[in-house]
A = this chain, B = another copy of it.
Amino acid sequence: MGRRTYCLILQYDGSRYKGWQRLPGTAQTVQGRVEAALSEIFAEPVEIHGSGRTDAGVHALGQTVSFTAPELPLNKILPRLRHLLPRDIGAVSLRYAPERFHARLCAVEKTYVYRLWNSEKPDVFGRHYRTRFPRPLDEEKMRQAASHFFGTHDFLAFCSNKQFKKSSVRTLRRLELIREGEELRFELTADGFLYNMVRIIVGTLLEVGLGQREPECIPELLCSRQRSLAGETAAPEGLCLLEVRYDEKSLPPAKVCDMIG
């Protein structure tokens, strides 16, 4: 039987999980759960590669995953996978990918959203997906501060990994603040994100919004490359990986028969 490279889109509610990455001694990681299900379907150990790790409590609407496994019809895999996965992990779609496709190495752009519930009012139905932040915020100043993040910078000051050795230069293509009623939402698109980068950017913008920092501090912070000078890491539950993009070379548009969702 031939082998294939598959591309799988997942959504998950991260509330119950110790993050994306498989950990010894616990089944409570998203990767662990998905690998267990796929290994059962293919009757052999399947190792998957996510586009990136998400932390404990962080959610995804469009986490992208690659793996290689024996060739099976997609409509034999996807319904089975949906049946085996717990209800807080969902298989959105499945397709055959080019042999060398790798969800992390080939990713060219990611979009995250960070949701705040900016009100004293209760947020019963959004409580797992929005971070409660009842204090009033100066949004104008936050937008000014946000504008300084656009473009290509060394984001080392916005990275929790102290041993980070590779390039910490990233290009932020979009950082929008969107107000909808009690919700204040941050949408960020970049060619890649460092560990905790979204949450530290949001944490820093919140300190600007509270008047504890000026918008003009951002360029200095970026230049400092010192994590200790940036703001706090915002709580995980407001964060959600929305989408991962690939270029057509690594993941050409699928033919109808090569995709199911």
Interface residues of A (CB under 8 A from B): 11-13, 59, 61, 79, 82, 85, 87-92, 120-125, 127, 129, 261
Contacts and interface: CB of A to CB of B under 8 A. Distances in A.
A90 B122 CA distance: 5
Contacts of A125: 11, 13, 59, 61, 129
Contacts of A11: 122, 124-125
Contacts of A124: 11-13, 87-90
A195 B131 CA distance: 37
B79 A92 contact: no
Contacts of A82: 120, 122
A92 B120 contact: no
Copies in the complex: 2
A122 B83 CA distance: 10
A195 to B, nearest CB: 24
A120 B79 contact: yes
A82 B134 CA distance: 12
A87 B127 contact: yes
A90 B12 contact: no
A92 B122 contact: yes
Nearest to A89: B124
A-B complex: 10 closest residue pairs judged by Cβ atoms: A90-B122, A90-B124, A11-B124, A87-B127, A13-B124, A88-B124, A12-B124, A82-B122, A13-B125, A91-B122
A124 B86 CA distance: 9
Nearest to A12: B124
Contacts of A127: 13, 87-88
A121 B90 contact: yes
Nearest to A88: B124
Most chain B CB atoms below 10 A, which of A12, A90, A91: A90
27 contacts: A11-B122, A11-B124, A11-B125, A12-B124, A13-B124, A13-B125, A13-B127, A59-B125, A61-B125, A82-B120, A82-B122, A85-B122, A87-B122, A87-B124, A87-B127, A88-B124, A88-B127, A89-B122, A89-B124, A90-B121, A90-B122, A90-B123, A90-B124, A91-B122, A92-B121, A92-B122, A125-B129
